[in-house]
Chains A and B, each alone.
Chain A
Amino acid sequence: MIQLRSLTKRYGSFTAVNGVDLDVPRGELFGFLGPNGAGKTTTLRMIAGILRPSSGTVSIAGFDLTSDPVAAKQRLGFIPDRPFIYEKLTGTEFLRFVAGLYGQSGAETERRGRELLALFDLEEWQDELVESYSHGMRQKLIISSAFVHKPEVMVVDEPMVGLDPKAARTLKDLFREYTRRGNTIMMSTHTLEVAQSMCDRIGIIQRGVIRACGTMDDLRASAEAGVSGLEEIFLRLTGEGLARELVEVLDA
């Protein structure tokens, strides 16, 4: 459902994403990990059609994002890491607006919007302007809006940031049920427990290049012998020291 071929993004002389090849099939929840500044958000924003690749291609549900952007985006939902939305619209109006962008309206869309707001406990706030929402409530509203047009593919950047435990649990259940029905999710996260427990496959990107990709067993095999948890695998593969300078920093 998501197909990346030699995907590259350069900013001047700096290469943020360097020749990424990736296939995420239908019904899979794919975890996308990497240190800060590794190229995760840039990759996801290229898949969402927000950034243009310097070279390479993105294909969503068989539609090339460059040559047929409307058809590709019609099948896509995107949840960004920073919840910037229109401050002067209410929750209901925002959902109606997003549905409208995807050409959907009418009683069925309204019902679906109400159900999504109820799922994330936003019913009470649905007629209040977004400017009075907390960070977590905005995030929940954006998540609801990404599902309102029933996309086949969901691209998610750091979904758990700002969510309360109940909403985080709801979101995990929603993602599982969504992929069980044959839809696809590509999700970046720094919460390794979430990635380990939820994702069918995981890709680790560093300095714009995919360092490892596969199931937990595949990743264990890629890392050195004796590691079992995703945290250890991640640190080994990305070469990040943990306690290296800790004492030095605290003593400084």
Chain B
Amino acid sequence: MRDALRVLLLPKLFTARARMRSKERGRGARTAVLAVIGGVFWMFAFGVLHRLLAYFRGVPEIGPLLAGKLLGLILIAFFSILLLSNIITALSSYFLARDLDLLASAPVDWLALYSAKLLETCVNSSWMVVLMAVPILTAYGTVYDGGGAFIGLAILTFLPFLIIPAALGSAATLVLVNAFPARRTRDILSIIAVIAAAGIVVLFRLVRPEKLARPEGFRSLVDFIAVLRTPTSPLLPSEWVGRSVMGWLTGSLDLLPIYLLWSTAAASVVLGALLHRWLYARGFTKAQESSQQWAREGWMGRAGRLVLSPLGSARRELVLKEVRIFFRDTTQWSQLILLAVLVVVYVFNIKFLPLTGEGITFFIVNLVPFLNLALAGFVLASVAARFIFPGVSLEGRTWWLLRASPLPIRELLWSKFWVGMVPLLVLALAIVGVTNSLLRVSTFMFVVSVFTITLMTFALAGLAIGFGTMFPRFETENAAQIPTSFGGLLYMMSAVGVIGAVIVLEARPVYSYLSAISFRGGEPPPTAELVLGFGLAAAVCLTATFWPIRIAVRRLEALER
């Protein structure tokens, strides 16, 4: 069994080693940039938490309770993420991976297969949570003087905390695949995952956690402490980790939570293995079935072809192809649910901004929508990263068809640009329109907002196409993973750069105009300054639209696959 497990794990280790040793061009620079960004993120998370915990530590009685409550909230979020991520990853590793045909036909022991795939699922689903946990636990350990042994305790409690959701998630997937075909299960899971994530966001927002920061909202201090003392959920592994960590740090270590963690992890793995032995063969056979899906052209398809006919047959068919594939791929359209939730939360936040009352001047009321543009730009950049950036990567397996056809690369990229840009612009104008109405902005600010967000949308879509082409991920089948690549990171950085540049360039003329209107009554608005500021902002946006696509065209023309 141990030999079999070793044989099953070796290819994964060799693949990881080959990836690390790969002499791909620019790999060193890429690793360095990622290391710097990762380091900055770690330092930031550590710094913020350290400050907060140091403050808590100074508050007698309530301080440790607050720190424990915060840790409990973080751990429960981690546990939910781990459980969802393991369910989804288990579907790939146990039922859809390419090595399964080989393994299923080889005389591999069922327990070795279960263990190898469990380890693979656990590692693939947990690494990001572990990376996020490091600065958090370091901050706790440093502020509360946990000492060197705290590292050992953190590992001792975190290991079973990762194993439990992996075993539970794999078991849940096994049951689901036995109930539905694997491909249908993937669809169901992606929708469940997105709805769950959306639910968490909405719930978190509706609870308005900022209220917890104001103890004066509670009837008495006793009520407040009672709320803090109550365990969030005594039966959840996250609670056990929280109790162990805080117990160690406050000098009252209780071994029961550690015992519960390890015994539950062992029991989950054993029960998971038994379930695997009972259901896996049947589930794997079922996973080979594909759901039959028919699609006949209805009136919408005919109308679409009619409307797009002025584009010519090549562009029209490219646009129709993009739209069809998007709406037939559950992993793609289901993300729209999350997007809708994010937009609602964004508008909700704007609606509750305290913009009336004492000290709120005409100037501030007009400044907020201007800053709102930067935030809306960031939301749009994230949307473009998710929906426009992966466009070229998704053509990887069918690249032969496009390359062998007489379609010029320029047309392909511009078709992708328009298909992504038009819905993005509709979204941009809707966000800005609604938030501007909620903020009751002046006509001048309304015009500035619409002008700026339109240009920004062009730039963000152009950058997404450009960076998506310069850093393609042709082998990734899941579109949701593509924006998390190095290229995706660079795209977001450049998008933020462009948004920042536009805001900075427009800030001065907008300030001068608003000052002229609100403070200096009859003084004429500074026309030259307005033209220069807005002209430069437009030039930045147009450069960010055309330049990346030009580079992308050259890159794609030279691409050989």
Contact = CB atoms under 8 A, between A and B. Distances in A.
Q: Do A and B bind each other?
A: yes
A101 B296 contact: no
Contacts of B403: 48-50
A97 B324 CA distance: 11
A128 interface: yes
Contact of B317 (A73, A100, A129): A100
A104 B317 CA distance: 10
A6 B404 CA distance: 21
Interface stretch (B106-114, B116-124, B286-294): B286-294
A227 interface: no
Interface string B284-305: 0000001111111100000000
B560 interface: yes
Given A84-B400, A85-B398, A101 B406 contact: yes
Contact of A101 (B293, B407, B561): B407
Interface stretch (B41-49, B308-316, B357-365): B308-316
A112 interface: no
Given A86-B325, A98-B405, A100-B313, A132 B293 contact: yes
Contact of A129 (B295, B297, B400, B561): B295
28 contacts: A48-B400, A48-B404, A49-B404, A71-B406, A85-B398, A86-B325, A88-B325, A88-B329, A93-B297, A93-B320, A93-B324, A97-B317, A97-B318, A100-B314, A101-B314, A101-B402, A101-B406, A102-B406, A103-B312, A103-B313, A103-B406, A128-B292, A128-B293, A128-B295, A129-B293, A131-B183, A131-B293, A132-B290
Interface in A87-139: 88-90, 92-93, 96-105, 127-129, 131-132
A150 to B, nearest CB: 14
A71 B408 CA distance: 11
A73 B293 contact: no
Given A100-B318, A127-B294, A73 B405 contact: yes
Contact of B295 (A71, A90, A102): A90
B295 A99 contact: no
A71 B321 CA distance: 24
A88 B328 contact: yes
A50 B405 CA distance: 9
A52 B329 CA distance: 33
A-B pairs with lowest CB-CB distance, top 8 = A100-B317, A101-B405, A73-B406, A105-B313, A84-B397, A88-B328, A78-B404, A100-B313
Interface of A: 45, 48-52, 69-71, 73-74, 76, 78, 80, 84-86, 88-90, 92-93, 96-105, 127-129, 131-132
B166 to A, nearest CB: 29
Q: Is the interface of B mostly helix, strand, loop or mixed?
A: helix
A151 B293 CA distance: 32
A102 B293 contact: no
Nearest to B317: A100
B348 to A, nearest CB: 34
Q: Is the interface of A mostly helix, strand, loop or mixed?
A: mixed
A80 B400 contact: yes
B206 interface: no
Contacts of B293: 128-129, 131-132
Interface in B379-435: 397-408
B364 to A, nearest CB: 49
A103 B401 contact: no
A39 to B, nearest CB: 15
B226 interface: no
A86 B321 contact: yes
Contacts of A48: 400, 403-404
A92 B298 CA distance: 13
A121 to B, nearest CB: 18
Contact of B404 (A73, A85, A97): A73
B558 interface: yes
Contact of B398 (A52, A76, A84): A84
Given A50-B403, A88-B324, A132-B290, A70 B408 contact: yes
Contacts of B312: 103
Contacts of B290: 131-132
A78 B405 CA distance: 9
A73 B329 CA distance: 31
B316 to A, nearest CB: 6
A88 B329 CA distance: 7
Contact of A102 (B297, B316, B329, B405): B405
B409 to A, nearest CB: 10
B558 A69 contact: no
A98 B295 contact: no
Contacts of A129: 293-295, 328
Contacts of A128: 292-295
A99 B325 contact: no
Contacts of B314: 100-103
Given A85-B401, A88-B329, A132-B292, 16 more contacts: A45-B400, A48-B400, A50-B400, A50-B403, A73-B405, A86-B325, A101-B317, A101-B406, A101-B407, A102-B405, A104-B313, A105-B313, A105-B317, A127-B294, A128-B293, A129-B294
Contacts of A131: 183, 290, 293
Contacts of A97: 317-318, 320-321
A92 B400 CA distance: 19
Interface in B313-341: 313-314, 316-318, 320-321, 324-325, 328-329
Contacts of A49: 403-404
A125 to B, nearest CB: 10
A231 B324 CA distance: 47
Nearest to B332: A88
A71 to B, nearest CB: 8
Nearest to B319: A100
Contacts of A85: 398, 401
Contact of B561 (A50, A76, A88, A104): A50
Contacts of B407: 101
A40 to B, nearest CB: 15
Nearest to B405: A101
A86 B398 contact: yes
B411 to A, nearest CB: 10
Given A127-B295, A131-B293, A98 B401 contact: yes
B302 to A, nearest CB: 12
Nearest to A52: B560
Given A129-B293, A129-B328, A100 B406 contact: no
A89 B324 contact: yes
A45 B296 CA distance: 34
